[in-house]
Amino acid sequence: MTTTSEIAAPETIKTVLLGVTGCIGAYKACEILRGLQKRGVRVKVVMTEHATHFVDPLTFRSLTHEKVAVDLFDDPTDPIHHISLADEADLFLIAPCTANVMAKLAAGIGDDLLTTTALAVTAPVVLAPAANVHMYENPITQRNMNALHDFGFKFVEAGEGYLACGYQGRGRMADPELIVDYVMEQLEGASTAKGQDLNGTPAVLGQDEDGALSASVRDLEGKKVMVTAGPTVEPIDPVRYISNHSSGKFGYAIAAAAAERGAEVTLVSGPVSLDAPAGVNVVRVTTACEMLEAAGKAFADADLAIFAAAVADVRPANPFNRKMKKGTDDAALAAIELVENPDILKTLATAKDQQFVVGFAAETDHVVENATKKLKRKNANLIVANQVGGGRAFGQNDNEIMFVEAGGASEPVSGTKAQLAQVLLDRVAPQL
């Protein structure tokens, strides 16, 4: 398989101003900070007074070796501290960003160092909200978020999960890793990813004509998108199973990107440890048979169906209902009868109507040849081919893919899975 170079490092050191506001997620800002530093970014920290109750400024000072700004008037050497902080930033990330701070930003209030800096900054501002589910879903908070979105603020939206307050629901700050990836994309500009389109012309990854990131393109508004992701898990007995190494990262990135572009997205997910992407309806399943049933429901009225899941090809015909014991049950374990699982993609695509169907091909060798066979055999419109094995694709944040269509295969395109998700949608959106 032809290889392309990795995403280029930024030519100059960029500065991210990391704003930390007062909520329990503040400790995760340390992880974000380290993640950005590992990617070669200089990080300066500004905190609200409330944030200092959760993490001592000394922690951030030790991690950055730079002064941590908290009070408007605490630096006698710099009488207009909010302006100098704002001017230094290539990007202002506020993570976690409380409902209160979003309300202040939406109203243009600057009553402390962090909010006055946000008013003064001309660089992109990225918010990673965190709040109790009721506070997050409160129409006032939602109105403020919409207003901020319209003002050009960018969001890495909160995910669902168990919240520190004991509630379960949306409001948990997005994973630090996702936030770091998003910030890097903003800093590097999607054009740093390498790739070519089918005709050999350089692909403009994730940017529209105006140079805006395609994450802000709403070209899937009114469209229904179904995505499968993750592995399936086929039980042998209550503790053993057949599965594979799919982490769900690629499928989740595609679902997130489609939702960002305005689609109504259903993500049928095998067991993975990822939070639901913002604005995506996640249907969690375990086995291939369950995935077929859930995917079938979402497929019926989908405009676009993307099958990124790594479905186990076989399952034990008769799973044991008690744990099989080594020594006493060896013969039964050795004689496990396997039956073929349904081919979800093939089953649904064979009966396709309005749906544009994207399948995947995970191949260790003869990638294009095998993907082309899958395109025909499974009746897909497009196959995303990726080479697997040797630590590639499965579980990774980056990937290299080719698009295989009736007319042939594209050049390889490499980038983060989030970037490649946008490239894939750039390719299929005009065909819907």
Q: Which of the residues are catalytic? A: 165
Written as six digits, the tokens of 397 are 């944040």
* Contact between 374 and ligand PMT per CB under 6 A: yes
CB closer to ligand PMT out of 136 and 394 = 394
Q: Is omega for the bond preceding 316 within 30 degrees of 0, making it cis? A: no
Verify binding: residue 394, ligand PMT, rule CB under 6 A. yes
Q: How far apart are CA 44 and CA 388, in angstroms?
A: 39
Decide: 15 and 41 in contact? Cβ < 8 Å.
Answer: yes
Least distance to ligand PMT, CB of residue 277, Å: 13
Q: Which stretch binds ligand PMT (CB under 6 A): 5-13, 58-66, 179-187, 341-349?
A: 341-349
Site string for ligand PMT, 295-334 (x = CB under 6 A): ------------xxxxx-x---------------------
Closer to ligand PMT at the Cβ: 92 or 307?
Answer: 307
Residue from 40, 108, 395, 408 touching ligand PMT (CB under 6 A): that is 395
Q: Which of 156/310 has CB closer to ligand PMT?
A: 310
Give min distance, CB of 154 to ligand PMT, in A: 24
Size of the site for ligand PMT (CB under 6 A): 29
Given the complex with ligand PMT, which of 114 and 255 has the nearer CB atom?
A: 255
For residue 65 the two structure tokens come to 């070796």
Contacts of ligand PMT in 231-270 (CB under 6 A):
246-251
- Describe the crossing of helices 113-120 and 99-107 by its angle, rounded to 10 degrees: 40
Distance separating alpha carbons of residues 292 and 268, to the nearest angstrom? 9
DSSP string, 248-269: SHHHHHHHHHHHHTT-EEEEEE
Phi first, then psi: what are they for 386, rounded to 5°? -135, 145
| Residue selected from 362, 382, 404, 429 as contacting ligand PMT according to rule CB under 6 A | 362
- Round to whole Å and give the CA distance between 426 and 432: 11
136 binds ligand PMT per the rule CB under 6 A: no
Residues 6+ apart with CB under 8 A from 56: none
Using a 10 angstrom Cβ sphere, with 0-12 exposed, 13-18 middle and 19 or more buried, the burial of residue 42 is middle
CB of residue 15 to ligand PMT, shortest distance in Å: 31
Shortest Cβ 349–ligand PMT spacing (Å)? 9
Stretch that binds ligand PMT, among 69-77, 185-193, 343-351, 423-431 (CB under 6 A): 343-351
Q: Residue 360 interacts with ligand PMT (CB under 6 A)?
A: yes
Least separation in angstroms between CB 370 and ligand PMT = 8
Residue among 263 and 384 whose Cβ is closer to ligand PMT:
384
Which residues are CB-neighbours of 350 under 8 A, at least 6 positions away? 379
- Select the residue interacting with ligand PMT from 133, 393, 402, 428 (CB under 6 A): 393
As a whole number of angstroms, the distance between CA 235 and CA 232 comes to 10
Kindly tell me which of 48 and 232 has the beta carbon lying closer to ligand PMT: 232
Closer Cβ to ligand PMT, 165 or 272, answer by number: 272
Taking Cα atoms as reference points, which of 142, 9, 31 lies closest to residue 93? 31
Partners of 17 in the β-ladder? 44, 92
Cβ–Cβ under 8 Å, residues 288 and 267: no
- DSSP structure class, residue 213: B
Binding site for ligand PMT (CB under 6 A): 228, 230, 246-251, 288, 307-311, 313, 341, 343-345, 359-362, 374, 386, 388, 393-395
